Amino acid sequence: LYASPGLGLSLLAQADYAPFFYDNGPYSSNGNLALFSLTEDTPVGTEIYALNGTDPEGQEVRYGLSFEPGAKEYFRVEPKSGNITLVEQLDREVTEKVTVFVMDANDERPVFKNLPSFLDVPENSECGSSIYKVLAVDRDTGSGGSITFYLQTNGQSSKFAIDRHSGVLRIKPGEMLDYERSTTHFITVVAKDGGGNYNGKEQVMSSSATLTINVIDTQDTPPSFVGTPYFGYVYEVSVPGSEIFTVFAKDGDLGMPKPIHYSLENGTDGVFSINKTSGVISLLTYPIYLKREIFNMKVKASEVSPEGNLMDYGFTTVVIRVVDLNNHPPTFYGENGPQNMFEMTMYEHPPEGEIIRGLKITVNDSDQGSNAKFNLRLVGPGRMLRVVPQTVLNEAQVTILVEDSAAMDYEKFHFLTFKLLAVEMDTPERFSATADIVIHLLDTNDNAPKFSSVYYIARIPENSPGNSNVVSVTATDPDSGFWGEVKYSIYGSGADLFLIHSASGIIYTQPWASLDAEVKSKYNFYVKAEDAEGKYSLAEVFVTVLDLNDHPPEFNENFLEKTMIIGALVKIEAQDDDAEGPNNVIEYSIMKTDPENIFDINADTGEIKLKSYIKSMDIVQNITKQNDCTWSVVVQAQDRGSPSFSTTTVVKIDITETQLRGPWASFFVQSRDKPLHILGMIAGVISLMVVVTVFISTIMFMRNKKSNRILPHRRIRRRNKPPVTFNGRHWPPPPPNAPALPPLLPGGRPGDRQWVVPTVLGTVAQIKPKRNRNRPVDSVNAALVSELKMRLDQRRLANSS
């Protein structure tokens, strides 16, 4: 039984290994025919088995059978498919040869015959090619002696694969060896048997070994430049022969590097050269003759063979830039050349966004490229102005724009000073330049006059003569010249009595003005401050006319007669025509009484009353020897002004006594001079009684109407009921007794009438025409006075007899 490679195929791999059969076990119908059994009654022509094998290099295999010489050929194999067919009838009894098999146990481990080992493999070996065959033996038989191979990768990817049956190691399809990336590979090969019974248990045994693969470098990588991209610079001070830049390349085949040859291919314009061995690029002319600022040169690096021939090559680009040295700072120019001071004059508050045209400034940097790029900035008070452009390359016309018009105020700044800065942006030196800009501002009428206060409060005495100063107002206009001159005027309903000085702002009274606090004490009007162009502002003036004590207190009458009932008050009243306190606040005092020491007076109200110890007419008669009990009291009314004025009057008071008691007596006494009050009270009482009567009648009517029946006439009989006692008192109470007679007067007789009627004396005083105050005549009071006079005369006649 054998398998052989097919004919007519060329082997491209470096190693060619024999084909091998697959060992699929004793009970398989394909494989290597190991331990195959067949019954003797199998019909002739039956396909009894299929041989199965492969070639490590992947070539086509052919199958065949060989028999011992002279032996009968019972089987035939098909060379391509490996199918075995029975061609002779089998007879088990004819055979006399007996074979006794001793069954093997799996007690041996696979043993490598050519590992560990070192293997050199060229890096240009094709993918899928066989590079090595691992040999291992296992002395066991059957499945315990069959070996399969594996690669132990520990989860890492590998460029190699091994045939599990033949042990042939290959480069994986799609993988290539690369000396430049990895020069050595370490492979761990595992040989594992098919397993078998050992001591009654299934046992699989394996072994491992390491194969070290050294990758051999071959000529497959061109030279490569190191440190790309390349940039070189030619400065304005360079001379012919100056080294501009050096390129460097190395052979890509690191195992056997070869020398490098350098050359310039294009882009040099004939002004650069390169050293063919060192790679140094040099300048051939002066920079002034260079026609371009940037040169893109193509440099070639070629490998040189030992025979001196140029082999593989590579390219790179070298960028050479002609660089200007930064040896010129920015410079400002005026109309006549370099200038660092610019002045102009303009009106204040120009429109925002307007270009200041009085400044003609140019800025320039003579360098080239980034050395000539700089920023412009304007530094000064606030953010009034703005400069454009803010970024300049080489040269630009400087433009100044107004940004904050309100801040450019002549009243705050008569002139403005700014610094114009030019600072390079991308240079290490950061050269800069400065220029001063001075702007003189001219004034305009941009302000209205403004008062020092929004209102003014003034006070003036009422007796002030005409042309008296009242108050001085002040308004200022910050504008200059005639625009700052202020003219004052007043207007309003309260300004009739006043004038104002148009230049000074002094407010004074009209020459004919007469101020009287009692007539009008408050004035208010507006004052206007205006400049030459009509811009103005207003303020309000409040004038208070101060009251002077120019009116003395005055009584309604120079001589007053009053009747005083013991226990009651007599009130006198004076008036002061001054406008306000303390000038119109009156204090009352008793200057003289005849007889004395009997009256008190309330200083604030003018109420006169008897001394507290006088409680009856007996006490009064004990004080005086007069029978009529009449006193003359001199009362003074004095104001609290400065200076203080006072007025006196004589009050004749007739003291009497009445039997009336309680609130009604007090009311009638207090209202004796006010008959309308008494009449009103009586009318109110009568009205209340009428309302109550109507209310009760209405209730009774509604009650009788609701009952809707006629009540029988019944005779009412009164019964004498015993009095009922409540809390120690009898009810109903006994009828009231007649009032007791008053005590006898001193010197009187028991038979005389003891009822004493007080006397009231009343005289009408002359009314002052200035006051024009009239009082109504009390008819009731007059009748009472007449009756009292009559009784008094009768008493005098009785005493005299």
Beta bridge partners of 374: 392, 424
Residue 481 has a pLDDT of 85
Please provide the size of the chain in residues: 801
Q: CA 509, CA 41: separation in Å to the nearest integer?
A: 162
- How do strand 341-347 and strand 432-442 relate by DSSP bridges? parallel
- Please say whether the beta carbons of 612 and 569 come within 8 A: no
User: In the prediction, which pLDDT does 4 show?
Assistant: 58
DSSP letter at 744?
P
Per-residue pLDDT at 640: 84
Single-letter amino acid, residue 315: F
SS3 assignment, position 694: helix
Q: Using omega within 30 degrees of 0 as the cis cutoff, is the peptide bond preceding 712 cis?
A: no
Taking 70 as the pLDDT cut, the residues of the chain under it are 1-17, 25-26, 93-104, 220, 255, 558-559, 595, 625-628, 658-675, 706-792, 795-796, 798-801
Cα–Cα distance measured from residue 484 to residue 450, given in angstroms and rounded to the nearest whole number: 11
Closest CA to 34 of 58, 52, 61, 47: 52
Tokens matching residue 361? 């400034």
Cα within 13 Å of Cα(23), Cβ side: 16
CA 628 to chain CA mean position, Å = 95
Helix axis angle for 779-800 and 675-707, nearest 10°, is 110
Single-letter residue type at 650: V
> What is the spatial distance between Cα 217 and Cα 183, in angstroms, rounded to a whole number?
8
Burial (CB < 10 A; 0-12, 13-18, 19+), residue 599, is: buried
Q: Distance between CA 689 and CA 687 in Å, rounded?
A: 5
So what's the pLDDT on residue 422? 94
Give the residue among 662, 673, 595, 670 at the shortest CA–CA distance from 634. Answer: 595
480 three-class SS: coil
For 384-393, give one letter per residue: b (16+ CB within 10 A) or e. bbebeeeebe
Task: Give the alpha-carbon dihedral of 738, 740, 745, 751, to 10 degrees.
Answer: 60
In whole angstroms, what is the distance from residue 73 CA to residue 66 CA? Answer: 9
Q: Between the CA of residue 732 and those of 32, 409, 716, 727, 737, what are the distances in Å?
A: 157, 104, 20, 13, 15
Place of tokens 């207003």: 538
Based on C-alpha coordinates, what's the Rg of the chain? 73
As a whole number of angstroms, the distance between CA 619 and CA 613 comes to: 9
Contact 594, 646 (CB under 8 A): no
Q: How many CB atoms lie within 10 A of CB 494?
A: 17
Q: Which residues contact 464 (CB under 8 A, 6 or more apart)?
A: 509, 515
Is the separation of the CB atoms in 104 and 196 below 8 Å?
yes
Residue 474: both structure tokens together: 């002040």
Q: How far apart are CA 616 and CA 550, in angstroms?
A: 44
Which is nearest to 561 in space by CA: 762, 348, 731?
Answer: 762
DSSP character string of 68-86: -TT----EEE-TTT-EEEE
Cis peptide before 643 (omega within 30 of 0): yes
Q: What is the pLDDT of residue 296?
A: 92
- What pLDDT sits at residue 725? 45
pLDDT tens digits, one per residue of 118-128: 999 888 888 88
- Best CA proximity match to 367, nearest among 328, 393, 395, 332: 328
Residue 166 near residue 148 (C-beta atoms within 8 A): no
Closest CA to 572 of 673, 675, 640: 673
The reported pLDDT for the residue numbered 99 is 44
Separation between Cα atoms, residue 741 and residue 749, nearest integer Å: 14
The pLDDT score that the predictor gives to residue 618 is 74
Buried b (16+ CB within 10 A) or exposed e, 721-759: eeeeeeeeeeeeeeeeeeeeeeeeeeeeeeeeeeebbbb
Strands (E), 253-372: 260-266, 272-274, 280-283, 294-304, 310-323, 331-334, 337-338, 341-347, 361-364
Distances (CA, A) of 569 to 581, 669, 751: 27, 9, 35
Which of 542, 540, 543 has the alpha carbon at shortest distance from 454? 540
Dihedral of alpha carbons 760, 764, 765, 768, sign: positive
- Written as one letter, the residue type at 401 is L
Structure confidence at residue 766 (pLDDT): 35
